[in-house]
Each structure stands twice: as C-alpha cells, then as structure tokens.
C-alpha cells in the first residue's frame, strides 16, 4: 500500500511501495518528474500521461516547441519553413505532426530534419498527412518520416 511521506506544493514527494520508493519532483513552472529531480515535461496525471495537442498554421517560419507538446495539428495557409525548438539533452523526443494541405504550398524543413534518402516527402494539397519525428541528440538531428500519406 502506498504511503504519502512528504508533500509540498513544489518540491519532492516520496511514495513508498513495499521496500521501494518512487521519487517525484514538481517544479514551479508546472513540470512533474517521476524518477528524476530535473523534469523536462509537463504531465497531467489522472490515470496516465496526457499529451496536449498544439494547433496552428504553417505560413512563414513555424517552430514546433518540444517543451509544449509532442503532437502538433497544423494547417498550411502559405509557404513556410518548419523547425523544432526546446528538445532537451539526455532524452529521446518523439513528435507527430498532423499537417493539412501541406502540398498546396512550398513547405521547407529546417536542416536538422533528416528524411529517408535525404528527400523530404511529397505532401497532399487537399487533405492531411501524418509525419513523425524522433531526436536523441537534443535536436541536432531530427529523423522525420511520412507515416500516413493522405490520411482519411
């Protein structure tokens, strides 16, 4: 049975489980870490992790902020360049971009985003493509792939 050993609004919380304990840390900026004293992500824990969806438009420079989410739902409304920010060291970061009408405009990708064979995907001009990304080196190299073309 779990016991509450220490509670604070911000700080460290230890939960005892038999002979083991789980270290939890909450920061003043709303990040919660389990098993780490330096959390890098925000969690809403009510039976599991909640991944927020960030929505927006691609038109000009568009930066997907890893500290905000790992799921982005964007619509292309003009030519643009997509990049990432906020990918931290010593963590694997996975992201999904649900991009609507990307092929209707010229979409460029930051040089840190690497595609299979070095060729960025062809996107649909009227419809939605699902792209996935992974980085294990703080965003120096972000591996991208077109996961679902013209998702319907």
Averaged pLDDT, groups of 10, the chain, 152 residues long:
43 50 72 71 49 90 91 97 92 93 98 98 98 96 98 90
Measured CA angle at 109 (ends 104, 111), to 5 deg: 160
* pTM for this predicted structure: 0.71
In this prediction, residue 134 carries a pLDDT of: 97
Contact 99, 120 (CB under 8 A): no
Token pair listed for 3? 């016991």
In this prediction, residue 43 carries a pLDDT of: 60
Contact 125, 96 (CB under 8 A): no
Residues 49 and 34: their CA atoms lie apart, in Å, by: 12
In this prediction, residue 44 carries a pLDDT of: 47
Query: 3-state class of 97 per DSSP?
Result: strand
């Amino acid at each position: 049975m779990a016991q509450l050993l220490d509670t604070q609004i911000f700080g460290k919380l230890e939960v005892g489980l038999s002979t083991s304990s789980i270290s939890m840390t909450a920061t003043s900026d709303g990040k919660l870490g389990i098993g780490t004293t330096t959390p890098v992500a925000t969690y809403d824990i009510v039976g599991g992790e909640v991944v927020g969806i960030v929505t927006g438009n691609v038109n000009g420079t568009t930066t997907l902020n890893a500290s905000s989410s790992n799921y982005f739902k964007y619509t292309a409304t003009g030519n643009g360049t997509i990049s990432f920010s906020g990918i931290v060291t010593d963590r694997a970061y996975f992201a999904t971009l649900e991009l609507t009408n990307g092929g209707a405009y010229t979409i460029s990708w930051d040089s840190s985003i690497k595609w299979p064979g070095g060729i960025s995907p062809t996107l649909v001009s009227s419809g939605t493509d699902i792209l996935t990304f992974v980085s294990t080196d703080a965003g120096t190299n972000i591996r991208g792939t077109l996961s679902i073309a013209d998702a319907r």
